[in-house]
Structure 1
Amino acid sequence: MPETPVSDATGVKKCQAKTKAKVRYLRRKKARRSARKAAAPKTKDAPGSESPQEDEEEDVSDAQSMQDEDKGKETQEEVVDSHRKKKRKLSGKDEIGHEEHSIPQTENSSIPVDSKLPSQGSLPSFPEPSAPNAPSKSVLAMQGIDRALVHAEIVDPAAVLPISPLGVDEQTKLSERTRKRLLELGITELFAVQTSLLPFLISQSSGASSLYPTYSSPRDACVSAPTGSGKTLAYVLPIIEVLSSRIITRLRALVVLPTRDLVTQVRETFKAIGKGRGLKIGTVTGQHSFSHEQSQLVGESSTPLKGGTSKMDILICTPGRLMDHLNGTPNFTLQHLRFLVIDEADRLLAQSFHDWLAQVLVACDPRRHWGDNLPVSSPWNDSTLVPTYDSVSPALLQAYLGCRTDVGEVKESSCQKLLFSATYTRDPGKLASLGLRDPKYFIVQDQSEGQPAGSLDLTSERFTMPANLMEHMIICEPSVKPLMLLHLIHNRSIRNALVFTKSSESTSRLVRLIEFFQEASTECERVVLRAYSSDLSASERRNILEKFKAQDIHILVCSDLISRGLDISHVSHVVSYDAPVDIRKYVHRVGRTARAGRTGEAWTLVEEQEARYFKGMLREYSHLERIKRLKVTQKDTESLRPSYQIALQQLKEAYAR
């Protein structure tokens, strides 16, 4: 018979719970009876019969068990109700007026589970996390940069200054003798970088008869100007002008260049400008034996001298050979330097050459000995050196004798550092390694749109190209790239040209292909071309350059060996057969033409798989708009293809041997 649902004081229905308890009770009762029947001895009574007393005791026991079980249920429900009240009290809500919710319970668990989370009204609310605002481009550009670069002097590339042969020139500070020499060489005006730099360098000497500034050490200078803008003449003129007043020969100007060919070119410029001044100009590049170069640099003396000896006023060198003499030539010293010129500075600073820059700076420091890195406070600390004070530089002599100025400081060196490049670096680490002293920056470039006059845009790096340069590019498949070069040579009549490749091997292979083509072709005009790379000896390269300057050679196929600094006036075309992978290499390549106000054209052959990267590189530096694309169709090269196929087959057979 089903039981009627009964509610307790809390209103929780217990019908289901009591029904289960009764089922368990009946099951246990039946099990006990079966056990007693099996264990009881057989009597005369009917089998399975029980005594009335035993039945009564069992009923009492079972009723007590059911009562205890019901009591446990009520106790558990009271615990649940008490737990609910505590939760409401902790959440700050009044018990009255809130609906109670039933709590599901497991069969053997006395811990209640509340289906409703406590209220969050009393907890503090926090804003959602968000990313900070990104810094502006101008702020990022200023991170770690030299503060002097912000105040750089921006020079208009179109600025020129005519040279007056007579009188006093207050603008350039050049003497009348120097101006007459320039006019004799056919130089009638100074370019932008020269008009700005010459007054700055020459005016820092207190007088025409003074080699070193009297009251303060000179400021260093960093110059960034496009190729062909006259950077070499910008440091040759002030060096000649200042050193012309010297009486005793000392090494006072050191010019460091990356290649031997540049050393030869700069030496010719120094000799042409300094003719009749009595200045002794020398070079060390490793072309001659080490002992021969030593005899040209220093005088014959078996005794090491602290002042050193020198046969040169101006030394032009490569960094590797300079280190050899600095560490291995007795009495060779840099303590008298007035000018330290680092041309093509971005390339030289990127190459270590046994840490040449740090050693040169130590050798120029008046507080350090030329042969080691330890400060020298007395001339007697090395008994093997003779302290010939008449040959020691003034600043170094003061350090040797332990003298001090009125403010107790050692006099600094008078060596003035001059850095030049068409692609000057802004790397803070490299600039810091130079130890520049109150540097002044000169930057020759066009003013960008929207930029205040005379201010430098630091958010993006820009390179100024020659004003009269026309730039083109041809996008083609790799298999027909040699054919595109032949099209430029024979269909567009390119002569007096430099063709740049990516390696010495590519240079020689391309020259052989063009020679095979000209042998196979009877209609095309024959051109004279030669390979120019580091595989050739110095004398061979010199002879090839002389013939090219005399226009006996029409086209010079070369690696990047001469892409920096080399000045050949009649070059009218530059072809990048292998597209450059860096904007600086592109700038230096195309800068071999359109120099000193002349016109020129630059061509770049770009393979189809390289086009996206090449365009992106130019677009990053806002230069893509200046380059015009030339489309060469199959019809344009139809007449060249038969001879081209023959040349390819001959080249293949030549390299298969």
Structure 2
Amino acid sequence: MEEISNQRKRVPHLTWMRNPMNIDQFEDGPLSLVPFLDPRLEEVLKKMGIQSLFPVQVAVWNETIGPGAFERDICVNSPTGSGKTLAYALPIVQTLALRKIRCLRALVVLPTRDLALQVKDVFAAIASVVGLRVGLAIGQSSIEDERLELVKRPNLGLYSPFDPEDGEMELQTAVDILVATPGRLMDHINMTKGFSLEHLCYLVIDETDKLLRDAYQSWLPTVLQLTKSDYQAGRSSNICALHGSLTTLRRCGAERGFKGKVYPRLVKFILSATLTQDPSKISQLYLHHPLLLTSGDKRYKLPKSLESFKLVCRSKLKPLYLVALLLNLVGEKSIVFTSSVETTHRLSNLLNFFGELPFKISEYSRNQHQAMRSKKLKSFKEGKTHVLIATDAMTRGMDVEGIRNVINYDIPAYIKTFIHRAGRTARAGQSGRCFTFLRQNEIKRFEKMLEKADANSCPSYSLPEDSVENFHPLYLSALEKLKEHEETRKGKRTSSSFGSAQASKRQKSRTEELKE
């Protein structure tokens, strides 16, 4: 009875989710055989080293540029590294290129700055060859700098720099596609004059489950309401379309059209490797006749070319086993995931105290400034750093070429987390390995977690005992150095706090003297 009950729980409540289109039925599509592909886009894709589209990209293309022709909202639930970014970027760029109108017509929202930078690079690489401009709103630079890029004022048909003192001139968005994080998007909606969503044709919500889980200043209802209001305003003033002025047409929302329709709906792309099935969350999106594209019959799916292993060890010796494992993997890019910022920082310091190891280690966490994270990520991408110790800030959609190994130093709490971590390797058809450190009492929970992704094969990975024991003296020495380092830092913080308290006391004393 319990098994039957569990099966019922796994059946999606939403009817359209029960009969998805299986991505696995599609094969890689050589660019020369992709129907209606713009020759300019074909050429730039080849220069990027892309000779064919992956199955998810072929499936989405068929439902947008192909027979589907954007008649339905697209929801994609496929493994990490399967090519979801290009799957939506390519048809959006091709469609927007048909009309040479400089206004914001596609918005891509992502949960993190690093992921937004990555997606912006994909769009920029293909959009420039067809004359489209791509903007970025993530808070990496000041909001004033972003305004200069996003908003322009028309000048005899050309676009000149935005002048905030010019109150008489109508301001307009100067990019065709905007990649944004929700917080900075809301800043521009609320504070940037001339920033408008009235012409928006496409809304992409990448890593949907995370963006729906966190409210982010109610960005989603705000965006949907703005586009809905502009749509209704356009319909009510259809007479504007009879006038020849391009500015008038834009103000009425007429240029949001495609397929010859003047006032179309807003097309949505919803994507994740772990797409939620919660009706209360999905309902927030107001999807139109949605089509679900998924890989296989399991909600959670790991890359086909991924090998998973478990390493059982005592907690106190985990750093020692990690060093031994990394020495086995030397020469290969590896990411080590921990459960917290504190563990990431402490483990990074500890490994660096081991002495002369034949690989360079770096820390990557949300506590670091964006510029620092970008620098660390660049070093890792270029192969200057071999091992990245990271929090789950690195798990969402990040694509670093050549990552061979993912190591779960701490067992992930949920299958979703495991899938997003493991998905940093075995991307785009390449092979990869995932190692998970476990205590003896965690084995059953971990194996039960993997059953949800139909990943029943997870053999043990053995390290030679002498390779572990040989590093024990270095490990004890590293622990002592870490202890001294932490005590020194603690002393500095105490001294700093004492100094601040003394300064505050002196200031208070001077204030009292003035009062007297």
Tell me the TM-score normalized by structure 2: 0.84
Pair 1:464 & 2:301 matched: yes
Query: SS of the residue aligned with 2:294?
Result: strand
* Conservation of the 8 A alpha-carbon contact between 2:127 and 2:134: no
- Superposed CA deviations along residues 79-106 of structure 1, whole A, max 9, x for unmatched, are xxxxxxxxxxxxxxxxxxxxxxxxxxxx
* Conservation of the 8 A alpha-carbon contact between 2:110 and 2:205: yes
For 2:24, which of 156, 159, 168 is the aligned residue? 156
Q: Distance in 2 between matches of 1:544 and 1:229?
A: 25
Pair 1:652 & 2:483 matched: yes
Alignment correspondent of 1:389? 248
* Conservation of the 8 A alpha-carbon contact between 2:253 and 2:263: no
Alignment correspondent of 1:279? 132
Pair 1:571 & 2:403 matched: yes
* Conservation of the 8 A alpha-carbon contact between 2:62 and 2:68: no
Q: Distance in 2 between matches of 1:316 and 1:645?
A: 48
Alignment correspondent of 2:341? 504
Q: Distance in 2 between matches of 1:573 and 1:397?
A: 45
Q: Distance in 1 between matches of 2:415 and 2:68?
A: 38
Alignment correspondent of 2:123? 270
Pair 1:481 & 2:318 matched: yes
Alignment correspondent of 1:585? 417
Alignment correspondent of 2:60? 197
Pair 1:435 & 2:289 matched: no
Alignment correspondent of 1:638? 469
CA positional deviation for 1:177:
2.4
CA positional deviation for 1:332:
1.4
- Superposed CA deviations along residues 468-510 of structure 1, whole A, max 9, x for unmatched, are 1111111111101111101101244363111111122211211
Task: Map 1:62-141 to 2 at 5 A.
Answer: 141=10
- Taking a change above 3 Å as real, the CA distance of residues 136 and 477 of structure 1, as seen in their structure-2 partners, is closer
**Which residue identity lines up with residue 309 of structure 2 in the other structure?**
H
CA positional deviation for 1:135:
7.8
**Which residue identity lines up with residue 413 of structure 2 in the other structure?**
V
Q: Distance in 2 between matches of 1:161 and 1:278?
A: 26
Q: Distance in 1 between matches of 2:26 and 2:433?
A: 19
Pair 1:328 & 2:160 matched: no
Q: Distance in 1 between matches of 2:439 and 2:198?
A: 52
Query: SS of the residue aligned with 1:517?
Result: coil
* Conservation of the 8 A alpha-carbon contact between 1:148 and 1:441: yes
- Taking a change above 3 Å as real, the CA distance of residues 172 and 199 of structure 1, as seen in their structure-2 partners, is farther
- Superposed CA deviations along residues 41-62 of structure 1, whole A, max 9, x for unmatched, are xxxxxxxxxxxxxxxxxxxxxx
- Taking a change above 3 Å as real, the CA distance of residues 366 and 440 of structure 1, as seen in their structure-2 partners, is same
- Taking a change above 3 Å as real, the CA distance of residues 223 and 492 of structure 1, as seen in their structure-2 partners, is closer
* Conservation of the 8 A alpha-carbon contact between 1:488 and 1:494: no
CA positional deviation for 1:274:
2.2
Alignment correspondent of 1:302? 167
* Conservation of the 8 A alpha-carbon contact between 1:501 and 1:560: yes
Q: Distance in 2 between matches of 1:587 and 1:330?
A: 41
Query: SS of the residue aligned with 2:37?
Result: coil
Q: Distance in 1 between matches of 2:346 and 2:306?
A: 29
- Taking a change above 3 Å as real, the CA distance of residues 428 and 553 of structure 1, as seen in their structure-2 partners, is same
CA positional deviation for 1:631:
3.7
* Conservation of the 8 A alpha-carbon contact between 2:78 and 2:272: yes
Q: Distance in 1 between matches of 2:331 and 2:322?
A: 10
Between Structure 1 and Structure 2, the one with more helix by share is: 2
* Conservation of the 8 A alpha-carbon contact between 2:237 and 2:252: no
Task: Map 1:145-294 to 2 at 5 A.
Answer: 145-156=13-24, 159-164=27-32, 169=33, 171-203=34-66, 218-294=71-147
Q: Distance in 2 between matches of 1:630 and 1:292?
A: 51
Q: Distance in 2 between matches of 1:580 and 1:311?
A: 43
Alignment correspondent of 1:604? 436
* Conservation of the 8 A alpha-carbon contact between 2:331 and 2:359: no
How many residues are treated as equivalent by the alignment?
468
* Conservation of the 8 A alpha-carbon contact between 1:337 and 1:414: no
Q: Distance in 2 between matches of 1:432 and 1:345?
A: 13
Pair 1:613 & 2:445 matched: yes
Query: SS of the residue aligned with 1:276?
Result: helix
Q: Distance in 2 between matches of 1:533 and 1:443?
A: 31
* Conservation of the 8 A alpha-carbon contact between 2:45 and 2:126: yes
Pair 1:516 & 2:369 matched: no
Alignment correspondent of 1:627? 458
Alignment correspondent of 1:452? none
CA positional deviation for 1:277:
1.5
**Which residue identity lines up with residue 339 of structure 1 in the other structure?**
Y
**Which residue identity lines up with residue 89 of structure 2 in the other structure?**
V
* Conservation of the 8 A alpha-carbon contact between 1:346 and 1:421: yes
Q: Distance in 1 between matches of 2:372 and 2:397?
A: 20
**Which residue identity lines up with residue 18 of structure 2 in the other structure?**
V
**Which residue identity lines up with residue 504 of structure 1 in the other structure?**
V
Alignment correspondent of 1:105? none
Alignment correspondent of 1:101? none
For 2:362, which of 518, 530, 538 is the aligned residue? 530
Q: Distance in 2 between matches of 1:485 and 1:353?
A: 37
**Which residue identity lines up with residue 251 of structure 2 in the other structure?**
V
- Taking a change above 3 Å as real, the CA distance of residues 263 and 134 of structure 1, as seen in their structure-2 partners, is closer
Question: Unaligned regions of 5+ residues in structure 1, if any?
Answer: 1-131, 207-216, 380-386, 399-409, 446-455, 520-524
* Conservation of the 8 A alpha-carbon contact between 1:572 and 1:600: yes
Between Structure 1 and Structure 2, the one with more strand by share is: 2
- Segment of structure 1 superposing worse, 388-397 or 539-548: 388-397
* Conservation of the 8 A alpha-carbon contact between 1:366 and 1:412: no
**Which residue identity lines up with residue 228 of structure 1 in the other structure?**
G
Alignment correspondent of 2:158? none
- Percentage of matched positions with identical amino acids: 36
Task: Map 1:326-475 to 2 at 5 A.
Answer: 326-366=189-229, 389-394=248-253, 413-445=264-296, 456=297, 461-475=298-312
Alignment correspondent of 1:5? none
CA positional deviation for 1:224:
0.8
* Conservation of the 8 A alpha-carbon contact between 2:41 and 2:129: no
CA positional deviation for 1:393:
4.5
CA positional deviation for 1:368:
6.7
* Conservation of the 8 A alpha-carbon contact between 1:568 and 1:592: yes
Q: Distance in 2 between matches of 1:606 and 1:474?
A: 6
Alignment correspondent of 2:493? none
Q: Superposition RMSD on alpha carbons, in Å?
A: 3.0
Q: Distance in 1 between matches of 2:45 and 2:341?
A: 38
**Which residue identity lines up with residue 113 of structure 2 in the other structure?**
R
**Which residue identity lines up with residue 584 of structure 1 in the other structure?**
K
Query: SS of the residue aligned with 1:637?
Result: helix
Tell me the TM-score normalized by structure 1: 0.66
- Taking a change above 3 Å as real, the CA distance of residues 470 and 157 of structure 1, as seen in their structure-2 partners, is farther
Alignment correspondent of 1:595? 427
Query: SS of the residue aligned with 1:513?
Result: helix
**Which residue identity lines up with residue 160 of structure 1 in the other structure?**
D
Query: SS of the residue aligned with 1:294?
Result: helix
Query: SS of the residue aligned with 1:346?
Result: helix
- Superposed CA deviations along residues 363-413 of structure 1, whole A, max 9, x for unmatched, are 11146789xxxx99679xxxxxxx962222546999xxxxxxxxxxx9864
* Conservation of the 8 A alpha-carbon contact between 1:335 and 1:396: no
- Superposed CA deviations along residues 583-603 of structure 1, whole A, max 9, x for unmatched, are 011101111111111111111
Q: Distance in 2 between matches of 1:397 and 1:251?
A: 10
* Conservation of the 8 A alpha-carbon contact between 2:199 and 2:256: no
CA positional deviation for 1:462:
3.4
- Taking a change above 3 Å as real, the CA distance of residues 536 and 134 of structure 1, as seen in their structure-2 partners, is closer
Alignment correspondent of 2:242? none
* Conservation of the 8 A alpha-carbon contact between 1:304 and 1:331: no
Q: Distance in 2 between matches of 1:134 and 1:184?
A: 52
Q: Distance in 1 between matches of 2:311 and 2:487?
A: 31
